[in-house]
């Protein structure tokens, strides 16, 4: 059986079952420009209806036994595995991902559901000390309706990492995926949850643009927002959420540094560096956006990384065995190329790449990059590795910390303790000693600081319970308290 039968999602959104949307949009394969189908696109009115329906369904869902909720999420995990090949192909075609990246997404999606299933049986509170003769409890209760907004780059993981734990904890969810990845990042989650037996109305999946997202953030039924996307959009989401007095978990952009100390194994460092900068065409929030290399290694590092980049095949990941697929669309590609061109104009040396055909951008290496050049100073979100050299650890720390972002950090060294000490001077949400900057596991609390987000975390029981529940203080005593008046 096909999980993602186009008959179900053509022109439709998932909101109280499959319902026709007033508008639809082409589902495009960026590698070929081919139209793979047409998915429904939601506007503010459809979002409002979905939020009201979610609020109506939430109480009953929250009242189900933890075993029932766990069973739904366990079935969802199994369905991601059973239909893995089909979902993977959609990620390859619709998001332009190479098969290993698409496979990783499916694997993590299943893990997110299994972890969420276990979340249902976690203790949900504490017994508190109290000065009176009574029982005093801090009890975690579902937030109510959770709004989830996800981007196009890791569409499945970035949706399910909030959808699954929010559902497990008794919330209803209205999920707005990016319309460019409506099927692999949206309909796949809707179909899996439908097949897993999630009651109707508890989950709504409505692809849509910024207007639909803004309506979701402002909707009075929605109590918590889980937003993953750019820092610019995240600021707007945070502002609106604050006005409506609701919590917003903001996972935003990055410009993560990889520091290569002079004692690092150079060949291994270059392999890690290429993965960090070029995986999924550099369209990852944790992408290695800045290579800080000790001056004694910098020239050789640039030469080896450039040779690797030149040798990397770029093409259609469905039909060829390639290392890089296409950029998601022409707008993103133009942005990447403008940042590379401006950086070369600013004095960076173009060692590899810097060219493109259709949506295929060659892996690009820039060396001797002035730190003010845009490819170094800004998030590129493309396959670009800018290299800057440093002379000692304090200079490396200062360069790495001189960014408004604070998502991930990699430090490569023969002396891990030295790496840890260096990391203490660089504020980021994630640190990998002897690895590049890109990684994710369903059990790890994931998040950034500074312009990378509000320090919110998804992943692991503690972070997920914190993110998707409210704390209620409850006291209980046998007689009514008497007061002086």
Q: Is 175 an interacting residue with respect to ligand NAD (CB under 6 A)?
A: no
Residues 6 or more apart whose Cβ sits within 8 Å of residue 82: none
Enter the tokens of residue 62. Answer: 């929250």
Concerning whether 184 is annotated as a catalytic residue, the answer is: no
Burial class of residue 20 (count of CB atoms within 10 Å of its CB; 0-12, 13-18, 19+): exposed
Q: Is 405 an interacting residue with respect to ligand NAD (CB under 6 A)?
A: no
Give the whole-angstrom CA distance, residue 137 versus residue 130. Answer: 9
Q: Is 99 an interacting residue with respect to ligand NAD (CB under 6 A)?
A: no
Site for ligand NAD in 236-275 (CB under 6 A): 236-237, 251-254
The alpha carbon torsion through 85, 287, 29, 187 (nearest 10 deg) reads 50
- Least distance to ligand NAD, CB of residue 178, Å: 4
Q: Is 233 an interacting residue with respect to ligand NAD (CB under 6 A)?
A: yes
Rule CB under 6 A: choose which of 188, 228, 343, 403 binds ligand NAD: 228
| Annotated catalytic residue, options 46, 94, 105, 251 | 251
Q: Is 217 an interacting residue with respect to ligand NAD (CB under 6 A)?
A: yes
Q: How far is Cα of residue 29 from the mean position of the Cα atoms in its chain?
A: 21
Q: Is 158 an interacting residue with respect to ligand NAD (CB under 6 A)?
A: yes
Q: Fill in the DSSP letter of residue 15.
A: S
Concerning whether 251 is annotated as a catalytic residue, the answer is: yes
- Least distance to ligand NAD, CB of residue 277, Å: 14
| Annotated catalytic residue, options 285, 395, 404, 421 | 285
Looking at the Cβ atoms of 170 and 254, the one nearer to ligand NAD is 254
Rule CB under 6 A: choose which of 28, 54, 149, 163 binds ligand NAD: 149
Q: Is the CB of residue 443 less than 8 Å from the CB of residue 115?
A: yes
- Beta bridge partners of residue 172, listed in sequence order: 145
Q: Is 210 an interacting residue with respect to ligand NAD (CB under 6 A)?
A: yes
Give the whole-angstrom CA distance, residue 42 versus residue 22. Answer: 7
Looking at the Cβ atoms of 83 and 249, the one nearer to ligand NAD is 249
User: At 182, phi and psi to the nearest 5?
Assistant: -65, -35
Q: Is 459 an interacting residue with respect to ligand NAD (CB under 6 A)?
A: no
Rule CB under 6 A: choose which of 80, 90, 114, 152 binds ligand NAD: 152
Give the whole-angstrom CA distance, residue 432 versus residue 420. Answer: 9
Looking at the Cβ atoms of 340 and 456, the one nearer to ligand NAD is 456
Closest CA to 179 of 211, 150, 207, 147: 207
Q: Is the CB of residue 193 less than 8 Å from the CB of residue 172?
A: no
> Which residue numbers are catalytic?
251, 285
Which residue ranges make up the site for ligand NAD (CB under 6 A)? 149-154, 158, 176, 178, 209-210, 213-214, 217, 228-230, 233, 236-237, 251-254, 285, 379, 381, 407, 448, 452-453
């Amino acid at each position: 059986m096909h999980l993602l039968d186009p008959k179900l999602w053509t022109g439709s959104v998932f909101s109280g079952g499959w319902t026709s949307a007033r508008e639809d949009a082409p589902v495009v394969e960026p590698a070929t420009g081919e139209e793979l189908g047409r998915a429904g696109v939601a506007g503010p009115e459809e979002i409002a209806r979905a939020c009201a329906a979610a609020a109506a369904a939430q109480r009953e869902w929250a009242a189900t036994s933890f075993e029932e909720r766990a069973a739904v999420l366990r079935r969802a995990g199994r369905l991601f595995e059973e239909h893995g090949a089909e979902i993977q192909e959609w990620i390859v075609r619709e998001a332009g991902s190479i098969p290993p990246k698409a496979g990783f997404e499916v694997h993590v999606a299943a893990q997110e559901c299994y972890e969420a299933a276990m979340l249902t049986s976690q203790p949900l509170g504490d017994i508190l000390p109290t000065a009176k003769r009574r029982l005093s409890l801090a009890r975690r209760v579902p937030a109510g309706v959770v709004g989830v907004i996800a981007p196009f780059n890791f569409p499945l993981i970035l949706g399910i990492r909030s959808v699954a734990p929010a559902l497990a904890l008794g919330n209803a969810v209205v999920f707005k995926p990016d319309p460019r990845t409506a099927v692999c990042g949206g309909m796949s989650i809707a179909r899996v949850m439908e097949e897993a037996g999630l009651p109707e109305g508890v989950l709504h999946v409505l692809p849509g643009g910024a207007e639909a997202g803004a309506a979701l953030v402002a909707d009075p039924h929605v109590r918590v927002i889980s937003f993953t996307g750019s820092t610019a959009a995240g600021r707007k989401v945070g502002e609106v959420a604050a006005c409506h007095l609701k919590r917003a978990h903001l996972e935003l952009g990055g410009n993560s540094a990889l520091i290569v100390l002079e004692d690092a194994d150079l060949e291994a460092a270059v392999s890690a560096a290429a993965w960090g900068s070029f995986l999924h065409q550099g369209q990852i929030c944790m992408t290695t956006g800045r290579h800080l290399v000790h001056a004694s290694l910098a020239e050789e590092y640039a030469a080896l990384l450039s040779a690797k980049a030149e040798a990397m095949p770029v093409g259609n990941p469905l039909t060829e065995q390639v290392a890089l697929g296409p950029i998601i669309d022409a707008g993103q590609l133009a942005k990447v190329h403008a940042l590379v061109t401006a950086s070369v104009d600013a004095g960076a040396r173009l060692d590899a790449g810097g060219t493109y055909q259709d949506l295929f951008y060659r892996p690009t290496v820039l060396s001797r990059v002035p730190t003010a050049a845009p490819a170094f100073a800004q998030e590129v979100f493309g396959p670009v590795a800018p290299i800057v050299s440093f002379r000692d650890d304090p200079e490396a720390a200062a360069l790495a910390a001189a960014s408004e972002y604070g998502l991930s950090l990699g430090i490569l060294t023969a002396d891990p303790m030295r790496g840890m000490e260096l990391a203490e001077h660089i504020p980021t949400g994630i640190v990998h000693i002897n690895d590049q900057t890109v990684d994710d596991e369903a059990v790890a609390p994931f998040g950034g600081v500074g312009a990378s987000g509000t320090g919110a975390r998804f992943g692991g029981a503690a972070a997920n319970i914190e993110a998707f529940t409210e704390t209620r203080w409850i006291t209980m005593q046998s007689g009514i308290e008497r007061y002086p008046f």
